Structure 1
Amino acid sequence: MKKLLFGLMAALFVALIAGCSSDSESEGNGEEASESKDQTITFGVTPWTSTVPPTEIASLVLEDMGYTVEHTDADVGSVFMGLSRGDIDVFMDSWFPMHKVHLDKFSDSVEDTAVSYPEAETGWVVPKYMEDINSMEDLKGKEDLFDNKMYGIEEGASATKESKEMIEEYGLDIEHVASSEGGMLAQAQRLMSQEEPVIFFGWRPHTMFNKYDIKVLKNDKGFFETSSVHVVTNKDLKENAPEAYEFLSNWSISIDDVEEMIVKIEEEDQDPKEVAREWIESNQDKIDEMTGK
């Protein structure tokens, strides 16, 4: 009887050891599979529709790589300030040469890391039914048609500064009315629905070029050059999170893809994360190339 009891106890002991070993191995495998990193990557997010798709895609990819991701909402000037201090690590929607002034100011701590997409058109726009207004010169002497107002985005934006400089350079009797992107478009849409004259700030990628029949005014003084959109990062990111930096330094996306996603988010009211995940799943080869897999 004693031998039987001893044998049962020995068997239970072996089973217990094996179970613990199995649990430890399973937990170890789980940790290895997730490759969780004790690092947080913070994205600066401006109040522009063009910022959302690339930020959501990059955030999901970095989360899949094991990073914790946070978003900080701010105007572009504050985003660059945050990048310079290290409070923000990444900004996916920097427009060059428009934002070069910010990069030059913080060149010791902020890096131009990748070109997201080139040839993004930007400038003052009017409805196409204004057939006689095709350039900045055409506005001279006709400012009262527009109630002497041009509608733009927020006060801290580089585009606002450039618009004010353009008003002065062309000698226009026009007031720049700063607002949020949504406020600007609401005012423009209200006037266009009545086929009234209106000038406002426009850029691609944006649903406005899908939704409205508008044109960019030409100018011969070098304002609002065709832009390229860049990824900028805090310079410490390369050392602090090299895998994240490698991915971001290889980042690129087409302007058409961004515009298509903006339509889904803004016009079709789809969830931004779901739209971003759909793009990732449809472009896995490109993601693998950017992450170095």
Structure 2
Amino acid sequence: MKKLLLGSMMAMLVATGVGCSTEDTSGETPEETGNGETITFGVTPWTSTVPPTKIASLILQDMGYEVVETSADVGNVFMGLSRGDLDVFMDAWFPMHQVHMERFSDTVVDTAVSYPEAETGWVVPNYMEDINSVEDIVGNEDLFNNEMYGIEEGTSSQEETNEMIEALGLDITQVNSSEGGMLAQAQRLMQQEEPVIFFGWRPHTMFNKYDIKVIGNDAGFFETSSVHVITNHELQEKAPDAFEFLSNWNISIDDVEEMIVQIEEEDQDPEEAAREWIDNNQDKVNEMLGN
């Protein structure tokens, strides 16, 4: 939830799984209309991407489709969608990813809102009672060793963070790494109750694990996001019933966060967590399927 070489994307891990149909509450199974057609999902290395991808993947498999998941960074996901190498991305964040939508506007389609009002921005521990906005950091950068921790380079969040640093004249350097690396560094400092700034977003288990807060700013950076489903522009013709299902897609941010906890903290298999969600939300699934 953030240079572009298609070759690097295609060299990344591809995982394919085929699931079995699950009965809905009326005892009926989804009509199999996929006829073995393959639908390829782009999967970014963010915890928020997994739950909606796994749920949608299993439902499409129940409809008779083959499903492939291709791991890539967000820039390569959008490029893959544009080139037709990928069909679906379940975790596009707006307005952060608007730059990618504008770049590939002729070949990608904003298909559905997965969930609105996902909070994102700079995060500090709640024990830092005097730091409640980015403006509170001005003049106090040395408290943080003049560093804030962000996710991998090339993301929209990295760019927006650097823009905010420049706009506010902060004497801060962004240190980028993987999501796991960023959180490991933040956790190390929080265990010692040291000052730390890092990038955060919901849905994420960090808000279940740590006593933290997203700090605002008066400059309009890191607006509350909405998370969208993005598809290749040819999917509607290639698989109209799949496109219709994805057009009706929505899920609550609380459900996504609960699944992240099940997967990340309780070591539940992602597909098992997704199947459990489907079984517990069959009315919602039927609605998305147009039944």
* Offset, 1:218: 1.2
Is the partner of 1:262 in helix, strand or coil? helix
Offset from partner CA, 1:34-76 (integer Å, 9 cap, x none): 6551311000000000000000000000000000000110110
2:54 is paired with a residue whose SS is helix
Output the CA distance in 1 between the equivalents of 2:275 and 2:148. Answer: 38
Match of 2:16 in 1: none
2:277 paired residue among 276, 279, 287:
279
Separation of aligned partners in 2, 1:57 and 1:154 = 26
Q: Distance in 2 between matches of 1:159 and 1:133?
A: 21
Of 203, 214, 224, which residue of structure 2 is paired with 1:216? Answer: 214
For 2:108, the equivalent position in structure 1 comes to 110
Shift of 1:292: 1.4
Q: Which stretches in structure 2 are left out of the alignment for 5+ residues? A: 1-30
2:61 aligned residue: 63
| Structure-to-structure mapping, 1:16-165, within 5 angstroms | 37-165=35-163
Separation (CA, whole Å) in 2 of partners of 1:290 and 1:41 = 18
In 1, Cα distance between equivalents of 2:76 and 2:158: 15
Alignment correspondent of 1:266: 264
Tell me how far apart the structure 1 counterparts of residues 190 and 213 of structure 2 sit (CA, whole Å). 13
Q: Cα 1:214–1:291, aligned 2, differ >3 Å: closer, same or farther? A: same
- The equivalent residue for 2:169 is 171
Match of 1:15 in 2: none
| Partner Cα separation in structure 1 for residue 33 and residue 145 of structure 2 | 59
Residue 62 of structure 1: SS of its match in structure 2?
A: helix
Q: Distance in 2 between matches of 1:190 and 1:278?
A: 34
Aligned partner of residue 277 in structure 1, secondary structure:
helix
Q: Which runs of 4+ in 1 moved over 2 A?
A: 33-36
The number of aligned residues is 261
When normalised by structure 1's length, the TM-score is 0.88
Distance 1:141 1:59 in 2: 49
Task: Name the counterpart of 1:201.
Answer: 199
User: For structure 1, which runs of at least 5 residues remain unmatched after alignment?
Assistant: 1-32
8 A Cα contact 2:203 2:253, kept in partner = yes
**Which residue in the other structure is 1:12 paired with?**
none
Q: Distance in 2 between matches of 1:122 and 1:237?
A: 30
Shift of 1:162: 0.4
SS in 1 for 2:287: helix
Question: Matched residues in 2 for 1:34 and 1:264: separation?
Answer: 29
Distance in 2 (alpha carbons) for counterparts of 1:49 and 1:232: 18
TM superposition shift of 1:194? 0.5
- SS of the residue aligned with 1:173? coil
